[in-house]
A and B are shown apart, each in its own frame.
Chain A
Amino acid sequence: MLEAILAGLGGLVVGFKLLFVNWQNLIMMFVGGGLLYLGIKKDCEPLLLVPIGFGCILVNIPLSDVMLKDGFIRTIYDAGIDTELFPLLIFIGIGAMTDFGPVLAQPYTFLLGAAGQFGIFLTLLLALALGFPKLDAVSIGIIGACDGPTAIYVTSKYAPHLLGAVAVAAYSYMSLVPVIQPPIMKLLTTEKEKKTVMKFTAKPVSKTTKLLFPLVITIVGGCIAPKGLPLLATIMLGNLMKESGVVARLTGAAENEIANVVTLFLGLCIGATMAGPAFIRAETLIILGLGFLAICLDTVCGVLFGKLLYIITGGKINPLIGSAGISAFPMAARVVAKVGMQYNKKNYLLMHAMGANAGGQIGSVIAAAVMLSVLAGMGVIR
């Protein structure tokens, strides 16, 4: 009987023993703790980093079965990530939350939103040069979209083994935009360019235009890049609901209840893909490095395109707003306004930058949609 009791008690310490045998799991539990610290103490994308951090700890506890067949996170993963449903549901919420008025008031800012996507394709080239397989390189490049749901959508579909690294890179760097962008913006522009004053006259947009906008984007974008239609359609559906003003309950549900529940599940699932042996590899560090580079390249190309517009318009456009052509909304626009004010206290660039930033939001989705359709055109994906 004593033997049976000792064997039973022994079962209680197996986990602790394995904790020190599988050192990768132990390290990843610290990484999970670090993510929780960033989310809770540093207010760094807490809505995602808290469930990601917790999911990461959970999956690395020895003998944890949360990601095994029928495990509770595996069930959520199969239902929402494998099917690409979660990023799409998040997109309905993003569409319902975003006011595209600034980009509709200044449609040229769509082009700044396009320039901010160069990082995706340049990083893809770099990843290929470093020896990553084609679809892995595509998923790494998409970090440059600066758009978490788009990165998750593409990666879960074409390189699910990279999901943890890509998602963590996308969300971490998005929250670091205020740190990453200013030095690049300052380095690439002259004193005179930085001080360029852009006058803003509030140009209201008619309700009809605001209602037609999501429909036009869905139909035209869908015809050009049908492989990305789910991405385009969901963000535009959310926006149509918001602008129509007749489905306030649905809009509210999309931007609150649905977005909140899906964010929680999405975060847990991403965290649960960060199991030590699969995550602690040189490849992960390279992906994190390339992701950082992608966002730097987005900023560089955005500012350079802003400089081109500065020349074309005879100095009427401040090149700094080019850096807002990414999807980190409205953070990137706020960064532009702050940097602009540092050089000219009477220069209010916020509304112009908001236009570029809203353009960047559409730009990232269009870039991903175009990318998928080009891949399908080449026969790389079906």
Chain B
Amino acid sequence: MEMDNVTFGVTMLVAGMGGTLVTLGLLSLMMLGLGKLFPYKEEAGKEG
């Protein structure tokens, strides 16, 4: 069945923008975690 434009547009807005926000939020948390797991000082200490 052909989807009407309103359903299509609203789905794109909700799933598309929502998906973008959630994905970037998740990546932001993962980067925060990576920063804590591998802090700069610790690595410099190892290298030193």
The residues of A with any CB-CB pair to B shorter than 8 Å are 103-105, 107-108, 110-111, 113-115, 117-118, 120-122, 124-125, 128-129, 134, 137-138, 203-209, 212-213, 216-217, 220-221, 224-225, 359, 362-363, 366-367, 370-371, 373-375, 377-378, 380
Contacts and interface: CB of A to CB of B under 8 A. Distances in A.
Contacts of B28: 107-108, 110-111
Interface string B10-42: 111101110111011111111110110011101
A121 B17 contact: yes
Contacts of B40: 203-206
B16 A107 contact: no
Nearest to B38: A208
A110 B20 contact: no
Contact of A128 (B9, B15, B23, B35): B9
A212 B39 CA distance: 13
Nearest to B10: A125
Contacts of A221: 23, 27
Contacts of B31: 103-104, 107, 110, 209, 213, 216
A108 B3 CA distance: 36
B42 A206 contact: yes
A209 B35 contact: yes
27 contacts: A104-B31, A110-B24, A110-B27, A111-B24, A114-B25, A117-B17, A121-B17, A124-B9, A125-B10, A128-B5, A129-B9, A137-B9, A205-B40, A206-B39, A206-B42, A206-B43, A208-B34, A216-B27, A216-B31, A216-B34, A220-B23, A220-B27, A359-B24, A362-B27, A374-B16, A377-B15, A378-B8
Interface of B: 3, 5-6, 8-13, 15-17, 19-21, 23-32, 34-35, 38-40, 42-43
Contacts of A378: 3, 8, 11
- Scoring B8, B20, B34 by chain A CB atoms within 10 A of each residue's CB, the highest score goes to B20
B9 to A, nearest CB: 4
A103 B24 CA distance: 12
A366 B28 CA distance: 13
A220 B34 CA distance: 14
A363 B3 contact: no
Contact of A380 (B8, B25, B43): B8
Given A114-B24, A117-B17, 11 more contacts: A103-B31, A110-B24, A110-B25, A111-B28, A121-B13, A128-B9, A206-B38, A209-B35, A366-B27, A374-B12, A374-B16
A110 B39 CA distance: 19
Contacts of B30: 216, 220
B11 A370 contact: no
Nearest to B29: A107
Contacts of B43: 206-208
A140 to B, nearest CB: 12
8 residue pairs, one from A and one from B, having the closest CB atoms: A110-B28, A208-B38, A114-B24, A107-B31, A370-B19, A206-B43, A107-B28, A204-B40
Nearest to A112: B24
A117 B25 CA distance: 14
Given A128-B9, A134-B5, A212-B38, A366 B26 contact: no
